[in-house]
Amino acid sequence: MTRLLLTTAALLMTSPALAQHEGHGTPPVVAPEPTPAVKPADPHAGHDMPAKIPEPAPVPSDPHAGHDMGAMPADSGGEIGNAPAPAPPEDHAADALFDPAEMARSRDTLRREHGVFNGSMILFDLAEYQARKGGDGYRWEAEAWFGGDIDRFMVKTEGEGTFGEPIDDAEVQLLYSRAVAPYWNAHVGVRHDFRPDPSRTYAVVGIEGVAPYWFHLSGQLFLSDKGDFRARAEGSYDQRITQSLILSPRAEFNLSAQDMPAIGVGSGLTDVELGLRLRYEVRKEFAPYVGVEWSRKVGDTARYASAAGEDASVVNFVAGIRFWF
């Protein structure tokens, strides 16, 4: 009896739940509540950032913007570099450590080496033996100058001859030279020809210097005491094969405005010389060389040479020394 009562009570307690889920094979699934998204940490959290980053100031197009150009010296003309140079300092810090007299001499040497320059040079550009048909000979070209980098006194001489015979040509020039450009000097003076005979004396005007690509050029005009007008143009170039081995082509042209039969010179182009010399600089001041030179008299000058029994065209094989001190 007691067992029957317990069974009946259990059925009565479970019947509402069975009725509620009647027709469903599985109990209902309850969806989990969504997890709130976690925001990334702010890298600037805790920093006091400005509301807006300011833009850089524009660069003025005028290079003188912001400068008081009116503050420049009145005599400068508004251009930099025309103002008068400042006075040289009177106090020298080195005088406190060294003998002031010694330092004064040192400063004077510095001014002379980098400002007012005085010096001298003697150069034998050609001093050579010439082997040629009909008799070997010799030739020289030399110059000396004394003075500064602007004004100089110059002496030039050149000549040639055949061994065992009188000198064929010999001249000396005394010149005043002045720099007229960074690479060019103009000169005036006198030239005297000792040979050929009769001798001549000329007034000289010329220019010499270094052209672009390091061509050494010179030109001279001569007016003799007899009224004869002549001209000469020369050029050379030093092509360095090594620091010591140098190939040097040379050219010379002589002209005359009139015939000068007394000395065997005709009008127009009188003679041409073309040479090629290879020298080796044992030192900068001493350089032996070998080479070849071709010379030819032209026009009436060639006819005068033929009448005197001379060759109008000559090839010389040369060997010599170029030196200076």
- Structural domain contains residue 91: no
Cα separations (Å) of 43 from 36, 37, 40, 49? 21, 18, 9, 12
Confidence bin at 46 (pLDDT 50/70/90) = low
Instruction: Return the SS3 of 307.
Output: helix
Residue 294 in any domain: the answer is yes
Structural domains counted in the chain: 1
Query: 231 in a domain, yes or no?
Result: yes
Report the pLDDT value the prediction gives residue 244, as an integer from 0 to 100. Answer: 97
Question: Which CATH number characterizes residue 219's domain?
Answer: 2.40.160.40
Handedness of CA 38, 40, 46, 51 (dihedral sign): negative
* Position 22 confidence tier, pLDDT thresholds 50, 70, 90: very low
Q: Is residue 202 part of a domain?
A: yes
Contact present, 321 and 287 (Cβ < 8 Å)? yes
Residue 90, in any domain of the structure: no
Q: What is the DSSP letter of 36?
A: P
78 found inside a domain: no
Instruction: Supply the pTM of this predicted model.
Output: 0.67
- Segment 26-43 mean pLDDT: 52
Question: 108 in a domain, yes or no?
Answer: no
Q: Tell me: the pLDDT tens digits for 125-175?
A: 999 999 998 889 999 999 999 998 899 999 999 999 999 999 999 999 999
Q: What is the dihedral of CA 78, 79, 85, 91, to 10 degrees?
A: 90
- The residues with which 130 forms a beta bridge, in sequence order, are 137, 318
Cα angle 321-324-325, degrees, rounded to a multiple of 5:
145
Cis peptide before 196 (omega within 30 of 0): yes
Domain of residue 170: give its range.
Answer: 120-324
Report pLDDT digits (tens) over 210-236: 999 999 999 999 999 999 999 999 999
- ∠ Cα 120 123 127 (to 5°): 160
Backbone angles phi, psi at 76, to 5 degrees: -85, -10
User: Which position has the token pair 């080796």?
Assistant: 280
- On whether residue 265 sits in a domain, the answer given is yes
